Chains A and B, each alone.
Chain A
């Protein structure tokens, strides 16, 4: 296992109370695996990345049963050593919104060089050369290293950021919404480039792909995790999530996306909105919006358990899943829950 996370909790202390942005997330990523993490806005995806990358503000508290990288305990690793040994050399980041993630008054190449210099003993000249190679590798001309970000299109900036993330040949790349804000054709090209990179590079590369775009996740990932209100709802192989989902939230999400097989099908959205993360939820966080909820759902926090080999779901009623799957495609099922809530 490359990255193992068990029961990770990241809470922000605010004046109004404790915001449980991430509240019990468990998953693991194998070497050479693409793990897709999906969930709606505000479900804690970005906080999760910041926890791994150590970019949290001072108000955050991190607790976990396990947070390890290649068996090394990241919770106990001091910041300095993390910066010197893990950051960018082993775990790198393609940040959210390529448009805003490059310094507007610094040449794009110089920003990649900066990343290389911060983590290796390469000379300025070698680092520049490496940057040019990286640019060509992601499909940008080497001469473009001397351009400023405003001279780049959105797709080019995204490529530059991918080049930057590859700079020190890490084994895990975290991609935060890598295709959001790009048009579909550019998205497609970026995704193809990512797939290409994975086959071309000799060292195994795992990717943690974080997005709210289910179709991107479906296309890229080997395994998928579904997050909701700071908790992991379900995780399994990509095929299983779409073919045999166990959690009602996953079923609801599936309804909200068009499929190529039945383009005329009306999309059904999940009624209600995610809970306020300050409130204490004793039971399942999804139960207020869940059409299949029973009183027991609110009594106790559902365990994130293995419903099938390597398929986990946090639902106490997963033995009724056949009935859920049948009823989930029906619009009536979801309107009922609205009147209840």
Chain B
């Protein structure tokens, strides 16, 4: 691929997303969170574990949003704004890493399985069936019990589970594309299997692939939030779910509305933004949706 065609492809992707108000909305939210996560150390006013004091010298405990503490403080007098900024970084990192790795696994298994068929397909698809039988939380709990709490095990657990749906869908689409005449023609002019899979089939399933990338990232964010809310995440890397966990164990969930609001709204915003973007791609993958 030349530089020009990469640029064209990029511009085309932007156009797909910005064709809808929802797409623009989703993209801006994601860019915003990405920006916050990337520059977290520069943006956060306080250390996230630092106990803050009021001018009178008392611990600033459970303060609602005010000029001094824009998002309020926690039970231990920690700044929620700073926690939110760092938690964005953790959540986006886990969501992106797990989402991208899982689509990488799912797409490759789907492509290879769908293209070669036969025994290889049988093997991969039965393996996928087994993964379908694996529940996420118990799997994560076992991992953590064995190896200790770390965001990498959360990412690993998410990756091991999320790829299954994308693998099945991409396999089905690959099987449909494989039968098309231009694949036969490519084989006739001597293209290797790898060239056909990655040079001819992959570009043709791109809209579907991007749709599932967005889905997988969204699923990863949700899974991470759920896991850390239950306390199965890395306590050193605070995430939105982790903040909710802290709130829960502090026992102040009925009174400290601000402590509850920011992380939960952020989770909903990020996940729905990803879904909005995937909807924009869904129209490319399935043009019939456009007519409605």
Residues of chain A whose beta carbon lies under 8 Å from any beta carbon of chain B: 53, 55, 83, 87-88, 92-93, 95-97, 100-107, 111, 114-115, 118-119, 161, 164
Contact = CB atoms under 8 A, between A and B. Distances in A.
A104 B188 contact: no
A103 B198 CA distance: 13
B180 A93 contact: no
B190 A106 contact: no
14 contacts: A53-B188, A55-B184, A55-B187, A92-B189, A95-B184, A96-B181, A97-B181, A100-B181, A100-B182, A101-B185, A103-B203, A105-B204, A114-B191, A118-B190
B211 to A, nearest CB: 16
A299 to B, nearest CB: 40
B252 interface: no
B186 interface: yes
Given A93-B189, A95-B188, A105-B204, 14 more contacts: A55-B188, A83-B190, A87-B189, A88-B190, A93-B185, A101-B181, A101-B182, A102-B182, A103-B200, A105-B203, A106-B203, A107-B5, A114-B186, A161-B185
Main secondary structure of the interface of B (DSSP, over half): helix
B199 interface: yes
A105 B181 contact: no
B185 A95 contact: yes
B206 interface: yes
B203 A102 contact: no
Contacts of A161: 185
Contact of B180 (A53, A100, A115, A118): A100
Given A87-B190, A114-B199, A104 B204 contact: yes
A115 B181 CA distance: 16
Nearest to B4: A146
Contacts of A107: 5
A34 to B, nearest CB: 20
Could you say which interface size class chain B belongs to? 10 to 19
B190 A103 contact: no
Interface of B: 5, 180-182, 184-192, 195, 199-200, 203-204, 206
A55 B186 CA distance: 11
Give me the 3 closest cross-chain CB pairs, A-B, nearest first.
A100-B181, A115-B189, A101-B185
With most chain A CB atoms within 10 A of its CB, the pick from B5, B180, B184 is B184
Contacts of B204: 103-105
B103 to A, nearest CB: 19
A104 to B, nearest CB: 7
Contacts of A95: 181, 184-185, 188
A102 B204 CA distance: 12
Nearest to A115: B189
Nearest to A105: B203
Contacts of A102: 182, 185
Given A97-B181, A114-B199, A103 B189 contact: no
Contacts of A100: 180-182
With most chain A CB atoms within 10 A of its CB, the pick from B182, B184, B189 is B189
A104 B199 CA distance: 12
A161 B185 CA distance: 10
A55 B191 CA distance: 12
A21 B53 CA distance: 88
A119 B188 CA distance: 12
A96 B188 CA distance: 12
Contact of A115 (B5, B184, B190, B203): B190
A103 B186 contact: yes
A96 B182 CA distance: 10
Contacts of A111: 186
Given A103-B200, A105-B203, A105-B204, A88 B189 contact: yes
A199 to B, nearest CB: 25
Given A95-B184, A96-B181, A114-B199, A105 B190 contact: no
Contacts of A87: 188-190
Contacts of B200: 103, 106
A53 B189 CA distance: 9
With most chain A CB atoms within 10 A of its CB, the pick from B186, B187, B200, B203 is B186
Contact of A114 (B180, B189, B206): B189
A53 B184 CA distance: 11
Contacts of A101: 181-182, 184-185
Contacts of B185: 93, 95, 101-102, 161
A119 B192 CA distance: 11
Contacts of B203: 103, 105-106
Contacts of A83: 190
Contacts of B190: 83, 87-88, 115, 118-119
With most chain B CB atoms within 10 A of its CB, the pick from A83, A102, A111, A161 is A111
